[in-house]
Amino acid sequence: MDKNKVCIVVLALLTMTAIHSCTTEKKAKFTGAEGEVKLITLDPGHFHAALVQKNMYPQVHPEVVVYAPDGDDLNEHLKRIEAYNTRLEDPTKWNEHLYRGEDFFSRMLSEKKGNVMVTAGNNGKKTEYIKAALDAGINVLADKPMTINAVNFEILKQAFESARQNDVLLYDIMTERFEITTMLQREFSMLPEVFGVLEKGTLENPAVTKESVHHFCKYVSGVPLKRPAWFYDVEQQGEGIVDVTTHLVDLVQWECFPELILNTGDVNIVSAKRWTTDLSTEQFALSTALPVFPNYLRKDVRNDTLRVYSNGEINYTLKGVHAKVVVIWNFMPPEGAGDTHYSIMRGSNANLIIRQGAEQGYQPTLYIEPTGNVEAAVFEKTLNDNLSKVQAKFSGVELKKLETGWEVLVPQKYHNGHEAHFGQVTERFLQYLVDGKLPDWEVPNMITKYYTTTKALEVAKGNSK
């Protein structure tokens, strides 16, 4: 064999070895082994970053690397982790390794000391952080919202493509899918004999309405929540219409079209609006422990009052179904109350309604109210006959008859609270890592969701007060 042929053969063998090596590396998967997931926490400006670590997970190594600039955000995060580590009941055993510095992000990318990045903080920077981490081959579990404007929505789409190319996962923390009354609303809606078919609705009377009321001043893990000042800057936190509405839009998709792949062409924004919640200097100080507004908030201050565009409403259609989502932020809840949720799904046979007002003791409660399209006795028998299908998934769920319909009685074991839902989402994500993929519908539906919120913001800015 001449020298040229030898060189060609050797080159071919080297190429095949390189391809095999790359393929083998790419196909290296999570197995569920103890401690194989190594967390990186990036710039934890929001308390949701700590809630991911409220519990331990066998698959997650207790050593966590935190990259962040020095300051109150980082200190508050470390206090929360320490509180979990030192609590009397079921304490955690996290060991946080810190890198403090303004170059925290570039340092994280160069060191790559973990394989899953958790990010919950400044939303103005978050989308670029996410994409860069995925580009570096790091899986990402991100707090919502992953984008707060149309420009960053385009970056988010690129981020999902980067995740695909680098064989890593990007997932946002949709805790509301684990709230029991929402889960049961979805279950009953998938019983056609009970619910019928989802109405199309109109602008004036949507088929689906979801309204969420939140509060700036609240308690988390039993202690008063200290908000970072930037939380009140819509350029950093995002307006309400692209923040909390992320959950509401997600639930519309998840409940009305379960496990169906959606795309942006299925969405039509009919109308959208935004308005402010106004905070006095005293209220701001109570929430942030800062006596004055920082300079970057001065643009939003009028007569010593901070005007925050934290409220929004979107009226839109999804595959022809009229939906309405509303987010409202007040400063402080009434005594004994907290954040609240209202939701209705209108079916041809029955409406499924979640109420959480004073009458319900500020606890979310699901009601089934027949529309009258089915004779009353027939509907009652059908409902009772179908209850066993729900009980097969949620044991102990019962029905209480009322004048207007039925209240769904839920065992206390399912009311585990908002904070516990972060652990449930994390466990789901850990399983997806082992599976090596998300469900086929998740990525296109995340893209559709963020298209809906960012497009609605553009529409609302033309109709703001």
Average pLDDT, the chain: 92
134 band by pLDDT with thresholds 50, 70 and 90 = very high
CB neighbourhood size of 64 (10 A):
21
Query: Would you call 67 helix, strand, or coil by DSSP?
Result: strand
Packed helices 376-391 and 180-189: angle between N→C axes, nearest 10 degrees: 120
Mean pLDDT of 407-424: 94
The fraction of the chain above a pLDDT of 90, given in percent, is: 86
Instruction: Give 342-381 pLDDT, tens digit per residue.
Output: 999 999 999 999 999 888 988 999 999 999 999 999 999 9
User: Which residues are CB-contacts of 407 (< 8 A; sequence separation ≥ 6)?
Assistant: 365, 366, 367, 399, 400
Domains and CATH numbers, the chain: 39-172 (3.40.50.720), 177-425+452-461 (3.30.360.10)
- pTM value is 0.91
Q: From 248, 276, 245, select the one nearest 464 (Cα to Cα).
A: 276
Residue 327 near residue 311 (C-beta atoms within 8 A)? yes
46 token code pair: 């929001």
Mean pLDDT of 17-42: 71
98: left (phi over 0), alpha (psi -120 to 50) or beta: beta
The fraction of the chain above a pLDDT of 70, given in percent, is: 92
Q: From 352, 145, 368, select the one nearest 256 (Cα to Cα).
A: 352
